[in-house]
Amino acid sequence: MQKTSDILWQDAQHQTLFAILDLIAQPESGADVVRHLHDYAESHFALEEHYMAALAYPERSAHIAAHDQFREEIASLLEQEADDAAFRAVVATFLTEWLRRHVFGIDKALEAFILASERK
Ligand SMILES: [Fe+2]
Ligand SMILES: [Fe+2]
């Protein structure tokens, strides 16, 4: 049974992002998995940013700046070294740590704000 304090779409999408990063760390993965991460992360960030705009979230610009940093990391991975398995593994580890801090940091604050707004 799900905890009522979680936003289900946000929680499910975070799990998927971590799963894709796990795939990227595997030696047999390739540039197509990085492309999948790019597309999935973009749709996830766009949805969070949609909620932030719709609810006039006060921390919106800092949160979007954090998303933009992740977008830039993925873009450079796609453009430069996506065919290098060792490099992909290093970047996947870095992005996993980054995402963990984001998900348990400012995403939690956003989640609390959305839940409070929906109760009004
Ligand atoms: Fe976020
Ligand atoms: Fe998120």
Domain boundaries, the chain: 8-119
Least confident window among 8-12, 91-95, 112-116? 91-95
Q: Phi then psi for 94, rounded to 5 degrees? A: -60, -45
Ligand 2 center from residue 111 Cα (angstroms): 9
CA distance 116 to 22: 33
Ligand 2 center from residue 42 Cα (angstroms): 10
At 17-65, the pLDDT tens digits run: 999 999 998 988 888 888 999 999 999 999 999 999 999 999 999 999 9
Ligand 1 center from residue 41 Cα (angstroms): 10
Q: Phi then psi for 109, rounded to 5 degrees? A: -65, -40
Ligand 2 center from residue 107 Cα (angstroms): 5
Tokens of 24: 């990227």
Single-letter code of the amino acid located at 109: A
CA distance 91 to 46: 22
The pLDDT assigned to 106 comes to 97
DSSP character for 6? S
**So what CATH class is 8-119?**
mainly alpha
DSSP letters of 18-58? HHHHHHHTSTT--HHHHHHHHHHHHHHHHHHHHHHHHTT-T
The pLDDT assigned to 2 comes to 44
